[in-house]
């Protein structure tokens, strides 16, 4: 059963990678946009290298949310999700594959951003483990968010919703303005955004410092957020909501 789950997940993952990596929305929102932001910010950040780590986290968030969102959204729109569900695979395999495709795209986004940053700035990794944990946990969480939004809204609407969330995270996660310097009423919002913890972990990995949350707390917070979104996605898939999502 577990082997079957893994095998089915890999088949769907391979299909998604072939089918969606070069789709225009994936390339524009998941690749060109984050890389352009990274390049621009790295060049503009000569006065403050501290933001570079946050910018790498931002690129990763942008890439992984886009891929899972495009893969799920197009599959729903093209009705091929119905075709797949008529095969013996279970829904969990299908969604796991979407989340994994977002994870891989998140790795690519973070990788490219890191290369740009390392070429154009003198930053280097001090703590490897927190960086790896940040990339893995962050990519999964962002990919889960992309999948959930793509399940709940049409592909056109999900882009709008996702962009609102992306820009909220971009400005409230401590990349440009440290969380403790935000107005008091915005600070609680920062603490529920997963990007805040990824940024803190990356800052620790590159500079050995953090703003408001220590690395262990950041990892725990990311795990809690991951569990929350996984449970939420599971509830979506196991209830009648899923029937509505797929068949309207």
In a 10 Å sphere around its CB, with 0-12 CB exposed, 13-18 middle and 19+ buried, how is residue 235 labelled?
Answer: exposed
Interface with other proteins by CB under 8 A: which range of 119-127, 143-151, 200-208, 240-248? 240-248
Distance CA 126, CA 117 (A): 15
Q: Kindly tell me which residue out of 32, 43, 83, 216 binds other proteins, with binding defined by CB under 8 A.
A: 83
Q: Kindly tell me which residue out of 2, 3, 18, 156 binds other proteins, with binding defined by CB under 8 A.
A: 18
85 binds other proteins (CB under 8 A): yes
Residues of span 89-118 touching other proteins by CB under 8 A:
89-90
50 binds other proteins (CB under 8 A): no
151 binds other proteins (CB under 8 A): no
208 binds other proteins (CB under 8 A): no
Report which DSSP code applies to 181.
G
The continuous run of DSSP H or E covering 86 comes out as none
How distant, in Å, are the alpha carbons of 107, 113, 123 from that of 57? 10, 9, 14
CB of 145 to other proteins, least distance (A): 24
CB of 63 to other proteins, least distance (A): 19
- Interface residues with other proteins (CB under 8 A)? 8, 11, 15, 18-20, 23, 74, 78-80, 82-90, 243-244, 246-247
């Amino acid at each position: 059963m577990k082997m079957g789950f893994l095998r089915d997940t890999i088949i769907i993952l391979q299909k998604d990678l072939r089918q969606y990596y070069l789709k225009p929305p994936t390339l524009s929102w998941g690749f060109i946009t984050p890389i352009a932001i990274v390049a621009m910010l790295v060049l503009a950040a000569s006065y403050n290298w501290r933001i570079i780590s946050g910018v790498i986290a931002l690129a990763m968030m942008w890439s992984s949310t886009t891929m899972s969102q495009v893969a799920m959204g197009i599959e729903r729109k093209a009705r091929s999700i119905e075709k797949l569900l008529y095969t013996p695979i279970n829904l969990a395999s299908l969604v796991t594959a979407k989340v994994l495709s977002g994870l891989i795209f998140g790795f690519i986004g973070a990788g490219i951003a890191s290369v740009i940053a390392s070429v154009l700035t003198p930053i280097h990794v001090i703590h490897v483990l927190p960086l790896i944990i940040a990339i893995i946990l962050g990519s999964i969480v962002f990919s889960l968010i992309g999948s959930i939004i793509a399940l709940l809204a049409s592909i056109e609407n999900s882009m709008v919703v996702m962009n609102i969330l992306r820009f909220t995270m971009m400005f409230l996660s401590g990349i440009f303005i440290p969380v403790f310097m935000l107005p008091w009423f915005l600070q609680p919002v920062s603490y529920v955004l997963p990007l805040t913890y990824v940024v803190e972990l990356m800052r620790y990995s590159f500079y050995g410092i953090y703003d408001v949350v220590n690395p262990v707390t950041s990892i725990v917070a990311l795990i809690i957020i991951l569990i929350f979104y996984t449970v939420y996605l599971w509830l979506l898939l196991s209830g009648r909501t899923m029937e509505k999502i797929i068949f309207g």
